[in-house]
Amino acid sequence: MLLKLILLLTTVPLVEFFLLFKLAQWRGWPVTILVIIGTGIVGGTLARMQGISVLNRIRNDLRSGGLPADRLMDGAMVLVAGALLLTPGLLTDALGFFLLAPPGRALMRRLVKRWLRKKMQDGTVHMEFHAPHDEPPPGYPPLEDEEEHVESRDDDEDRS
């Protein structure tokens, strides 16, 4: 896995540099610089708009009592898309715009879910969920119900 990551982190910048150099040869350096700056500005603006949209959908899911699992994945993908669009390069920009588009996120979400499901079946990824404790850990404030119970007990003692 580490070797794949090192390979990715070294080859992607080289390919990006090569593509930008070819674009500069074909259209000139001013156009290439405008493309880099333009995709950063447009991408940042779109990422902000999509991020706000995803955040509103998360709020709506929570208000209606639903779990916003898919929306949280969308939020993570919008964040990654924004970072990719701020990185100079044509491949990273293409992937960033792909992740900003809702159909692109839906496709990526399905792929990630399929990959996670496979990893869980293989036993390479384990997820454990624990029930919440009835009492908070030591040193934490009491739960809301406990506060009311403690206050009513204090009131009863004052009356005696």
Structural domain contains residue 90: yes
Ramachandran angles phi, psi of 21, nearest 5°: -65, -45
Structural domain contains residue 17: yes
Return mean pLDDT, the chain: 83
Tallying the residues shown for the chain, one arrives at 160
Structural domain contains residue 148: no
- Total domains, the chain: 1
Torsion of CA 108, 72, 103, 45, to 10 degrees: -110
Give the pLDDT of residue 107.
95
Which residue range forms the structural domain that includes residue 100?
Answer: 12-126
Structural domain contains residue 131: no
Structural domain contains residue 122: yes
Structural domain contains residue 60: yes
Structural domain contains residue 142: no
Confidence of residue 105 (pLDDT cuts 50, 70, 90): very high
Mean pLDDT of 31-36: 91
Please tell me the distance from the alpha carbon of residue 89 to that of residue 82, in angstroms, as a whole number. 13
Ramachandran angles phi, psi of 78, nearest 5°: -65, -40
Give the pLDDT of residue 34.
93
Full-model pTM = 0.70
Give the pLDDT of residue 45.
92
Whether residue 56 contacts residue 66, with contact meaning beta carbons closer than 8 Å, is answered with no
Q: Any idea which of 71-75, 133-137, 147-151 has the lowest mean pLDDT? A: 147-151
Structural domain contains residue 95: yes
Q: Three-state SS string across 9-74, please?
A: HHHHHHHHHHHHHHHHHHHCHHHHHHHHHHHHHHHHHHHHHHHHHHHHHHHHHHHCCCCCHHHHHH
Give the pLDDT of residue 22.
92
Is pLDDT above 60 for 148?
no
| Tens-place pLDDT, residues 6-25 | 998 899 889 999 998 999 99
Ramachandran angles phi, psi of 71, nearest 5°: -65, -35
Give the pLDDT of residue 145.
59
Whether residue 78 contacts residue 51, with contact meaning beta carbons closer than 8 Å, is answered with yes
Is pLDDT above 60 for 84?
yes
Give the pLDDT of residue 2.
86
